Amino acid sequence: MKILILGSEGFIGSHLINFYLLKGYDVIGVDLFEQSRSNITYHQILINHDTLSDVLKQHSFDYCINAAGNGDVNLSVSNPEQDFKSNTLFTFQILEGLRLYNPNCKFLYISSAAVYGNPEILPVSESAPVNPISPYGWHKLLSEHICKEYFELYNLQTAIVRPFSVYGPGLKKQIFWDIFNKSSNQNETLELWGGGQEARDFIHINDLIVAIDLILSQQILKAEIYNIASGEMTLINDVANLLLKNLEINKSIVFNGLVHKGNPIQWKADITKLSSLGFCPSVKIDQGVNNLATWLKLQ
Ligand SMILES: NC(=O)c1ccc[n+]([C@@H]2O[C@H](COP(=O)([O-])OP(=O)(O)OC[C@H]3O[C@@H](n4cnc5c(N)ncnc54)[C@H](O)[C@@H]3O)[C@@H](O)[C@H]2O)c1
């Protein structure tokens, strides 16, 4: 089996590569960065159609996963054009390239729970109304529609996943990274954004990868959408203190009450649809944060 991982130098992309190498697949990586590993075929590309088309012309893929794109909500607010190019335009270019050069390849798009905005009812299921509150969320939603377009009009097999808050070794952004960076200063307190009572549905990277593989392995893909989450809601205050405990750092956390534009308040996913494929999250938050802290201590 030959698989193309777009965004192969990123957090999710690099874990996908390890997983599919272990499965014995022929793995091809694509990213904007220079290659950091030597065990896969790698193409460094520029953000334009031609370089990506060259990759799609050179190989015949069974699977393609788009794990590329901006994953920073705040950046999307300050630079919506860049976010649109890396999240939406790039997805269009991949699908168009697949239509022309790899029409039998199964394509999985990593969207985001950000398409829900602040859901009115929790847990939120795939059929709930979408209501993005950031350029990032809007651009992910547009990309989902393009995946449906290429399935409906060109019979390209596509699947869409909406991960909630993914964490684990390799994650160098968001709350855990923020806490880790601030934990080494001399202050007795550690300041975080928000009020602490915000909540997220955290999913460990290992569980995310297993879920993606389950979805991709189906006989036929029909542009279906799947939430990927643990189905458990955890308060930011609790998870922040859990990490400090695992890092063996004795500081008290202070929330500054400020909310970043585009960030939701509470998330909890309904994972019934994913569970029907046989998915069961295996990493509990205590165990997952412990695993993350072990990696952080080595940084
Ligand atoms: N990490 C999460 O919690 C999470 C949750 C939901 C959705 N997602 C989505 O999953 C995807 C991957 O997230 P991540 O956390 O691994 O992000 P990341 O920033 O760690 O990795 C993204 C990678 O994509 C590359 N990239 C960007 N534009 C590209 C382009 N045009 N061509 C090729 N490569 C390009 C970057 O260089 C980077 O290596 C993103 O689209 C993100 O929005 C992530």
289 close to 296: Cβ distance less than 8 angstroms: no
Q: Annotate 140-179 with DSSP letters as a single string.
A: HHHHHHHHHHHHHHH---EEEEEE-EEESTT--SHHHHHH
Q: What token pair was written down for 299? A: 């940084």
What pLDDT, on the 0 to 100 scale, is given for residue 47? 64
Atom 39 of ligand 1, nearest CA residue? 10
Place of tokens 């007795």: 188
Question: pLDDT tens digit string along 20-47?
Answer: 999 999 999 999 998 888 888 888 887 6
Q: How far is the CA of 120 from the centre of ligand 1 (A)?
A: 27
Q: How far is the CA of 5 from the centre of ligand 1 (A)?
A: 11
Question: pLDDT tens digit string along 155-186?
Answer: 999 999 999 999 999 999 999 999 999 988 88
Work out the mean pLDDT of the chain and round it to a whole number.
95
| 263 vs 53: which has the higher pLDDT | 53
Q: Which atom of ligand 1 is nearest to the CA of 10?
A: 21
2-166+203-228 and 174-199+232-268+283-297: identical CATH topology: no
Please state the rounded mean pLDDT for residues 277-292: 98
Question: pLDDT tens digit string along 83-122?
Answer: 999 999 999 999 999 999 999 999 999 999 999 999 999 9
d(CA 203, CA 83): 24
Q: How far is the CA of 3 from the centre of ligand 1 (A)?
A: 17
Q: How far is the CA of 11 from the centre of ligand 1 (A)?
A: 7
pTM over 0.85: yes
Fold category of 174-199+232-268+283-297 in CATH:
UDP-galactose 4-epimerase; domain 1 (3.90.25)
Q: How far is the CA of 106 from the centre of ligand 1 (A)?
A: 19
186 close to 249: Cβ distance less than 8 angstroms: no
Please state the rounded mean pLDDT for residues 193-218: 96
What pLDDT, on the 0 to 100 scale, is given for residue 49? 57
283 pLDDT above the threshold of 90:
yes
Residue 259: pLDDT band (50, 70, 90) is confident
| Ligand 1 environment, Cβ below 6 A | 6-7, 9-13, 30-33, 45, 47, 67-69, 71, 86, 90, 110, 112, 163, 165-166
What pLDDT, on the 0 to 100 scale, is given for residue 10? 96
Count of other CB atoms within 10 angstroms of residue 209: 19
| Domain ranges, ordered by start, for the chain | 2-166+203-228, 174-199+232-268+283-297
Architecture field, domain 2-166+203-228: 3-Layer(aba) Sandwich (3.40)
